[in-house]
Structure 1
Amino acid sequence: MNNENSKLTISRIIQAPRSTVWKAWSEKEHFEKWWIPEPITCKVVKMDMTPGGGFETLMSENGEEFQPHVEGCFLEIVPLERIVFTTVLTEGWKPNDPWLSMTAIITMEDASSGTKYTAEALHKNPEDSNKHLEMGFEEGWGTTIDQLEKLIMKLA
């Protein structure tokens, strides 16, 4: 299996310091405002940013009936630099069988005009990667980065 065929990547320069990008990612009240493309709303159920900690979000198209969105487990946290989580495990390293198996690697690096934000989605095979791409990976994850940047402008 060629791992490059199983990975999707999106990257942007965000006009803010890493500390502000980190704050928007790591604080529940900020995270809920950008994590899912509008007009869908997000509710964070769990966000224990420690290795083995739970990560669970719900989504709602009407603001009332929340449905499962992502459930996973944080694998690695390097403050201000890197967040790794997976959907194939849940809190406490418990195996999970999600609707979309993936591991996400979020990196934040200094850039001349702010922060280089990169999100990688690693899938178990090219078929799952293509499924995620067909579901709108670039548009969806791109929209959330736009929303992240919009929120950051308010936080800065």
Structure 2
Amino acid sequence: MRLKPRDASRPKIFRSAASVTAAHALAKSEKLDFSNLNLNSNGTGKNSTEQDLGFEIDALKEEKKVLELPLAEVRADNFRLTEKIDEVNGTHAELSKELHSVQGQLVAERSRCFKLEAQTAELQMMLESLQSIENEVQLLRRQKSASDLLVSGVG
């Protein structure tokens, strides 16, 4: 994975931030003794340690600004992703409702289909019985015709 061009300076910052964190932990664990600071006669002069400390503070403030930019980007990305998640969840909820509705319709159609199949089977049985009744009627007509011929031939 390659670093983006703008990310090339970050490792130095992170090392510096690590040293600041270590210094902060050290300062917390030990009491700082400011009694040995040399002040000039009017009490407002700065010695080299104070100047170094000022430069260090300024550097830390600058690093903080540099680190706050990616943090703001990450927060903005997080906000956008949260909005997308909410949108996807809303879409999912709507689609779930629609799915349940369609499933209900499918159950109703299956029931209707089953009823129609039962009616079709019943009608087919009736049609078959009608066919056998029609065959019986044809047989009776032939018998009647034959019997009418016998009766008319005898009489």
After TM superposition, is the score higher than 0.5?
no
**Structure of higher RCO (CA pairs closer than 8 Å, 6+ residues apart):** 1
TM-score tier after normalising by the smaller chain length: under 0.3
Asked which structure has the greater CA Rg, the reply is 2
- TM-score normalised to the size of structure 2? 0.24
